[in-house]
Structure 1
Amino acid sequence: MPEGKVRARVMVVPDSSPGGSADTWKEAELSIEGGLRIRYLKDGLFSGEDFFSFSSVVDLGFKVPSHIGTGDVFAVRFQGKTLFMAPGSNPLIYSPSKFRDFIHGIFEALLRGRPVLFWEGGEVPVWERGYLGAVGVGKLLIIGPNRAPILSFPSVVKARTETVDGKIAWFLERYTPLGISGVYLHIPERKTRLFVLRYLSRFGGAGYLPELAREFPDVLADLKVPDVSPEEREVLMALMSGIDPLELPGLLRMDVRRVEEIYDRLIRKGLLSLVGIRKIVEPTPLAETAVELEEGEGE
Structure 2
Amino acid sequence: MGEKSTLADTTGRIARIVEDGHKRNDLEWEKCRLVLSSDRLVVVTNDDQRHIEVDSITAVKSRSGLGGDGEGYLSVQVGSDVDILAPTVEGFGDSLYSAVLDQRTVLIKHPALKGGVVQDTGWDRGRIKIGDGTVDLAVSTGSFVEVEVSDVGTVERAEKSVGGETRDVVEIEHTVDGTSVETHVSGARRDANVLFEFLRRETATETDVDLDDDERAVLMALYSGVSPFEIPDFVDLEIDRVEQIYDGLLESGLLREVRTRRSVSLLPRGRNIATEEMAEQ
User: TM-score when scaled to structure 2?
Assistant: 0.64
Q: Structure 1 residues 199, 243: CA separation in 2 closer, same or farther (over 3 Å shift)? A: same
Query: Where does the alignment leave 5 or more consecutive residues of structure 1 unmatched?
Result: 42-46, 88-93, 208-224, 269-276, 289-299
User: Deviations 1:151-194 (Å, cap 9, x if unpaired)?
Assistant: 425466677765353254556565333855665x4423111111
User: Deviations 1:213-236 (Å, cap 9, x if unpaired)?
Assistant: xxxxxxxxxxxx5597xxxx33xx
- Give the aligned partner of residue 136 of structure 2: 141
In structure 2, C-alpha distance between the alignment counterparts of 1:111 and 1:59, rounded to whole Å: 11
Alignment of 1:116-195 (within 5 A): 116-120=106-110, 127-136=123-132, 138-145=133-140, 149-154=144-149, 163-167=161-165, 168=167, 174-177=174-177, 179=179, 183=183, 185-195=184-194
Q: For 1:4, what is the secondary structure of its paired residue? A: strand
Equivalent in 32, 37, 40 of residue 28 of structure 1: 32
- Give the aligned partner of residue 40 of structure 1: 45
Deviation at 1:128, TM superposition (A): 2.9
The answer to which structure has the higher strand fraction is 2
In structure 2, C-alpha distance between the alignment counterparts of 1:181 and 1:227, rounded to whole Å: 19
User: Deviations 1:9-47 (Å, cap 9, x if unpaired)?
Assistant: 11124235522546x111111011322211114xxxxx4
Query: Where does the alignment leave 5 or more consecutive residues of structure 2 unmatched?
Result: 113-118, 220-230, 232-236, 257-261, 277-281
Alignment of 1:280-295 (within 5 A): 280-281=265-266, 282-284=270-272
The answer to which structure has the higher helix fraction is 1
Verify the 8 A CA contact 2:155 2:196 in the aligned structure 1: no
In structure 1, C-alpha distance between the alignment counterparts of 2:176 and 2:74, rounded to whole Å: 34
- Give the aligned partner of residue 196 of structure 2: 197
When the two chains are superposed, the root-mean-square deviation of aligned CA atoms in Å is 4.3
User: Deviations 1:112-155 (Å, cap 9, x if unpaired)?
Assistant: 0010123457998654321001221x301111238752342546
Deviation at 1:65, TM superposition (A): 8.8
- Give the aligned partner of residue 55 of structure 2: 55
Verify the 8 A CA contact 1:2 1:106 in the aligned structure 2: no
- Give the aligned partner of residue 95 of structure 2: 105
In structure 2, C-alpha distance between the alignment counterparts of 1:144 and 1:156, rounded to whole Å: 20
- Give the aligned partner of residue 114 of structure 1: 104
In structure 2, C-alpha distance between the alignment counterparts of 1:280 and 1:249, rounded to whole Å: 17
In structure 2, C-alpha distance between the alignment counterparts of 1:251 and 1:28, rounded to whole Å: 59
- Give the aligned partner of residue 279 of structure 1: 264
Verify the 8 A CA contact 1:20 1:67 in the aligned structure 2: no
Alignment of 1:253-268 (within 5 A): 256-257=246-247, 259-262=249-252, 265-266=253-254
Corresponding residue pairs, total: 235
Deviation at 1:8, TM superposition (A): 0.4
